[in-house]
Amino acid sequence: MHNFFIRKKIDILFIILLLGVSFLYGYHKILGYRPYSIHQWRQADCLSLTMNYYMENRNFFEPAVHWSGTKEGRTVSEFPIIYFSVAKLWKLFGYHEFIYRLVDTLLVFLGLFCLFRFTREFLADSFWSIIVTLYLFTSPILAYYSCNFTADAPAFGIALIACYFYCKHLSKNKNKFLYISLTFFLLAGLIKITSLIIFVALLIIHIYKILFIKEGKTVYNKILSLIPYLLLMLITASWYKYAI
């Protein structure tokens, strides 16, 4: 029980420090800003997709932007789960653009928290787990795009969540953590294909284990273990084919 409260204190301390750094970055002010600065046009595109979901109650698989040309504004790039979800939140709470920034920021924060938890379990050191995670958050690119309208940083945050559950799968040897991990990897990859870089690395390690490490499993079971990975790649490829 004593160790439980110690761990919770460390979690709370990390969250306070993360919020403190965010305050230094000015997130409390940026949350209320409209699209501006670098990639302003891309931020406006994301906001436009979300607003069309909100105003027109569009089908999930038919997102659209504001368009004044001869064709309709239907277009798609990332899997529109964030745009669609924020539009639903606007239906509940009203049209407030800060909700969009807040959703993206929270996804990154969840990813960083999962990285902190994994690092603490791996290093068995609370101090260095905090330092390593906050050091990552000092990246100017991550700091700028976390509290933003673009999907890159949230996808990265989701990939970090996936990594945490994958490590839980390895340490606990429970398939439920594997399926949770691959679900988050799938979401990350559908939103931004570059988020699957970590997944590809883990897949290569898994294939190496199948080929060169004896674990008492039959060849059939080893091949069967690849199915969830292949299914993830198939769904991702299908989405991008549809998007094209």
Average pLDDT, the chain: 91
Does position 125 have pLDDT exceeding 80, yes or no?
yes
- pLDDT tens-digit profile of 144-163? 999 999 999 999 999 999 99
Taking a C-beta distance cutoff of 8 angstroms, is the pair 38, 205 a contact? no
Residue count of the chain: 244
Mind spelling out the 3-state secondary structure of 185-197?
HHHHHHHCHHHHH
Question: What is d(CA 51, CA 141) in angstroms, rounded to the nearest whole number?
Answer: 26
Residue 4: per-residue pLDDT: 61
- pLDDT tens-digit profile of 190-242? 999 999 999 999 999 988 888 887 776 666 677 888 999 999 999 999 999 99
